[in-house]
Amino acid sequence: MSQRGRGAGRADDQVVMRGASGWWISGALAALFVFMLADAGIRSEWSTILLAAPWMAALLILCWALLIRPCLVVSPEGLTIVNVLRTHTLPWGEIAGLQVRYQLIVTRTHGAMVRAWGSPTVHPRRDQETDGSPLPAGRRFVGVVEAIEQAREELGPPEHPRTESATTFAWAPVLAFSIAVALGILSANLLG
């Protein structure tokens, strides 16, 4: 699943790719939690709501961090890999190769590899190349690499090429999860 994000300028052009299952799993979980909290509210079980709500929030935050946050962002400047807690921003010149097994593996020019949790799910190819030869090891699973290459071609060359890579740590999911767990423990101690 991919989404095209267009901003006012050429530097904002990007294609975001992530698996679709995270949205429906999180949506089903959220709907179940809303139903359970509404049922407790109708029954006037306020202590149940206060005990359950923080733990439900913690599970939804965890589900978001594991299933929705991870994605791939293709831009004219490079590839951004958003994993659960780390974001790797790689310029195209620093990417030596893209390989797909059960997840995307980006090999950098200096040999280090970055695994992308957020690459969409792909299916193994059961056939052979059109000329009858067996598939190369890196192309046994197809879909993501071709989608990245196609998005890169559609977006065109960057106006200002980026030359440096960056890796950042996402504190927001850790902080939100910690607060939800702390509220769950606090409510259990106060009401239990």
**Domain residue extents for the chain:** 19-68+172-191, 71-161
**pLDDT 10s digits, 115-127:** 998 777 555 555 5
What pLDDT is recorded for position 134?
61
pLDDT of residue 132: 59
pLDDT digits (tens, 9 = 90+) for 101-159: 778 899 999 989 999 987 775 555 555 555 556 655 544 445 788 878 888 888 887 77
The answer to whether residues 119 and 2 touch, using CB atoms and an 8 Å cutoff, is no
**Residue corresponding to tokens 């951004």:** 80
pLDDT at residue 11, as a whole number:
40
Look at 8 and 18; give whichever has higher pLDDT: 18
Q: What span, in angstroms and rounded, lies between the C-alpha atoms of 192 and 189?
A: 5
What's the confidence (pLDDT) of residue 138? 47
C-alpha 87/C-alpha 71 separation (Å) is 10
- Residue 10's pLDDT band, with cuts at 50, 70 and 90, is very low
C-alpha dihedral (121, 126, 129, 135), degrees to nearest 10: 70
| Cβ neighbourhood burial of 81 (10 Å; 0-12, 13-18, 19+) | buried
Amino acid letter at 25?
A: I
pLDDT of residue 121: 59
What is the rounded average pLDDT for all residues in the chain?
83
Position 179 pLDDT exceeds 90: yes
